[in-house]
Amino acid sequence: MSISVRDEGAVRVVRIDRPEKKNALTLVMYEALAKALADASANAECRAVVLVGHPGVFTAGNDIGDFLQNPPSGEDSPVFRFLLALVDFDKPIIAAVDGAAVGVGTTMLLHCDVVIASTRAKFSMPFVNLGLVPEGASSLLVPQIAGRATASYWLMTGEAFDSDSALRTGMISHVFDAEELEARAMKIAETIAAKPPEAMKITKDLLRAPVRAAVKETLSREGALFIARLTAPETIAAFTSFMTRR
Ligand code: COA
């Protein structure tokens, strides 16, 4: 299924687990991620979730072959259901990014509570390069977090940025060496998991409530435009070029 889930005490570790394809996300993987969040929410023993990829790659974003063969068609699509599940998730989620976090790999982080990265992390939102438009409420949240000038630069050039830039702009909270990244994520999760869970839940809700309605409205607006762009000739050309580049 390419998503693996394991529990370490009160911490549930959800791993994107398709290293041979740089953890590119398929429909089945989005479904598994949404299910992992639903299960974690329903399980009283689980007090925090750690979201990780593989050493050297967080995720290369949406599987481009899937974009061509099984494009999302509406808000019932697995990718939207996953993003909504993330927005509505009611327990702390700590993301640890090592290597590439492309497209939704970066935008999903906007909905995580604590984001840490390794010194070799590379974030990018290259939607425009592919004929696409921002998704994951990035057109709202990236300007809010990093400022409009930086958000426009990233979203209009598609250029990747490193952990130092991510830290400086507030996209992440800490940078660690790759070798210690997951252990650090576990330590943060354990610290959070040991706090009173009701107060934690309210704290998360207070931090997210001021923008929740706007986030959902932006997800929908971006989603409709994104879906329309998936069949645009310039988009099909970019996808085909990636799939046939060798
Ligand atoms: N969709 C489908 N397959 C992907 C993929 C994606 N998003 N990203 C990587 N892969 C596949 C490659 O096709 C390759 O498969 P192959 O070995 O069968 O040919 C394998 O994963 C390894 O990728 P490769 O490009 O050789 O690794 P790299 O280390 O040189 O580069 C990336 C890594 C992430 C920089 C590069 O793969 C990339 O740019 N991927 C596309 C990212 C993207 O545009 N995502 C969509 C954003 S909306």
Range of the domain at 23: 3-179
What pLDDT is attached to residue 246? 75
* Residues 70-89 as b or e (16 or more Cβ within 10 Å = b): ebbeeeebbbbbbbbbbbeb
Ligand 1 atom with minimal separation from the 67 CA = 1
Q: Is residue 68 part of a domain?
A: yes
Could you tell me the pTM of the whole model?
Answer: 0.98
Domain assignment present for residue 37? The answer is: yes
In a domain, 189, yes or no: no
Q: Tell me if 202 is assigned to some domain.
A: no
pLDDT per residue rounded down to tens, the chain (246 residues): 699 999 999 999 999 999 999 999 999 999 999 999 999 999 999 999 999 999 999 999 999 999 999 999 999 999 999 999 999 999 999 999 999 999 999 999 999 999 999 999 999 999 999 999 999 999 999 999 999 999 999 999 999 999 999 999 999 999 999 999 999 999 999 999 999 999 999 999 999 999 999 999 999 999 999 999 999 999 999 999 999 987
Nearest atom in ligand 1 to 105's CA:
47
**By the 8 A CB rule, do 94 and 51 touch?**
yes
Whether the CB-CB separation of 173 and 115 falls below 8 Å is answered with yes
Ligand 1 atom with the smallest distance to the CA of 63 is 1
CA-nearest residue, atom 15 of ligand 1: 21
How many structural domains are present in the chain?
A: 1
User: Which of 135, 121, 118 minimizes the C-alpha distance to 174?
Assistant: 118
CATH of the domain at 15: 3.90.226.10
- The verdict on residue 200 lying in a domain is no
Residues 94 and 233: beta-carbon distance below 8 Å = no
Q: Which residue's CA is minimally distant from atom 34 of ligand 1?
A: 60
Q: What is the CA radius of gyration of the chain?
A: 17
- 24 domain-assigned: yes
Q: Is residue 226 part of a domain?
A: no
The one-letter code for the residue type at 4 is S
Residue 213 within a domain: no
- Residues framing ligand 1 (Cβ under 6 A): 21-22, 24, 60-65, 100, 102-103, 126-127, 130, 132
C-alpha of residue 102 to centroid of ligand 1, in Å? 10
